[in-house]
Amino acid sequence: MKQKNLKNLNSFRRTGLVTVIAVYFLILVGGIVRSTGSGMGCPDWPKCFGSLVPPTSVDQLPKNYQEIYLEKRLAKNERFVATLDKLGFDKAAERIANDKTILIEEEFNATKTWIEYINRLIGVVIGFLIILTVWKSLKLWNTDRTIPILSIALLVLVLFQGWIGSIVVSTNLLDWMITFHMILALLLVVLLLYINHRAFLVKYENHKEDQVPSKVKWLLVIGTALMVVQIVFGTQVREELDQISFAMGGMMRDTWIDQIGMTFLIHRSFSLVLLGIHLLYFFWAFKYTRRKSPVNKWSQALLLVIVMEIATGIGMAYFAIPAFLQPVHLLLGSLIIGVQFVLLFQLRTQEDVNLITNPS
């Protein structure tokens, strides 16, 4: 490989790695926003209280600020509902149009406002990192055109994610919109990881991984699919907790778990199923791969993160849902998905190398 191409690949992969770390940091911060109830700290988007720098005191706002921003949000929701109707999503449009919680306007809280504002600033930084990723990917057009094409798709996804974020705000943190926003964030991570993996294969075109039986790959595929389901269950548990917290004014946290319905029991039991599947996967990966191979090392990391995720879940269930554990639990769940996909890419490395080097 030419020295220039090698330099471009290394630069691209470094930027991709930094972007992945930044996205995971944003997921952590997003969890902090959620656990502190700061999601509506800024009632408008992309500005915060109509300014690039939010206020620090309610005295800096007009007396009827709640009515002003409620009116703006409702106007935006009407346009969104109309768009959903045109696209054929009648039920979703009806749910938003008839949801009375959207009419609730929170009072100004400087701490919550600045927590949400910092969350948005990090999002802006990631936006610039994605633009930098696209720019650096264009230099690889003659090396592997799939990389710049996917990078451009990544930019489109980020812009769509930003727009969905604005809808999350305008709908006053509508539960299912938050879940959709989270799924898009995970899709963003997976696409970033694949692009970076593909650049790795281009750089090391003679790289070979251990060949493992197809049952190992399929077990990981099943585990990954079930983990996505588990995250959806987790967001539903989180939604129920938000409702209980609101109803109880944030008090008596030690009683919240007892008030959650069947969703929590399924979520808790499902974690044991996932642990069992991944223990079997880890046994097979350990059996069929070299001890120092990337697959073996990533498999160890996967099992460790799963154990940590279950431990934080136990901590929340038995210690009155400590606020600091909620974002950590969310981050670990997201990390599991990322590590699973890294392993899936590793397990099909040789097929990918053949596809890139012999595209015909």
CA angle 231, 166, 171 (to 5 degrees): 75
Strand partners, 51: 48
Q: Is 247's pLDDT higher than 90? A: no
Rounded Cα distance between 338 and 250, Å, is: 33
- For CA atoms 27, 28, 33, 37, the dihedral sign is positive
Query: What is residue 348's predicted lDDT score, i.e. its pLDDT?
Result: 75
| pLDDT confidence bin for 320, thresholds 50/70/90 | confident
Q: For residue 223, is pLDDT > 50?
A: yes
What percentage of the chain has pLDDT greater than the value 70? 94
Q: Note the pLDDT tens digit of each residue in 309-318.
A: 999 999 988 8
Q: What is the pLDDT of residue 120?
A: 93
pLDDT top residue among 208 and 274: 274
Cβ contacts of 139 within 8 Å, gap of 6 or more: 8, 12
Residue 325: both structure tokens together: 């554990």
Between 216 and 351, the more confident residue is 216
User: Which of the four pLDDT bands, split at 50, 70 and 90, describes residue 357?
Assistant: very low
pLDDT of residue 355: 44
Q: Residue with structure tokens 């209280």?
A: 49
Which element (helix H / strand E) includes 65? helix 65-87
Q: How confident is the model at residue 4 (pLDDT cuts 50, 70, 90)?
A: low
- The predicted structure's pLDDT at residue 206: 59
* Reported confidence tier of residue 235, pLDDT bands at 50, 70, 90: confident
- Reported as a pLDDT band with limits 50, 70 and 90, residue 3 is low
Query: Average pLDDT of the chain?
Result: 87
Check pLDDT > 50 for residue 85. yes
Supply the pLDDT for residue 328: 94
User: Which is more confidently placed, 338 or 239?
Assistant: 338
| Mean pLDDT, rounded, for 148-162 | 94
Checking if the pLDDT of 25 tops 80, the result is yes
pTM of the model: 0.88
Predicted local confidence at residue 98, as pLDDT? 86
- For residues 296 and 158, give the distance between their C-alpha atoms in angstroms, rounded to a whole number: 32
Q: What is the pLDDT of residues 157-194, one digit of tens each?
A: 999 999 998 888 888 877 778 888 889 999 999 999 99
pLDDT at site 274:
94
Mean pLDDT of 237-266: 80
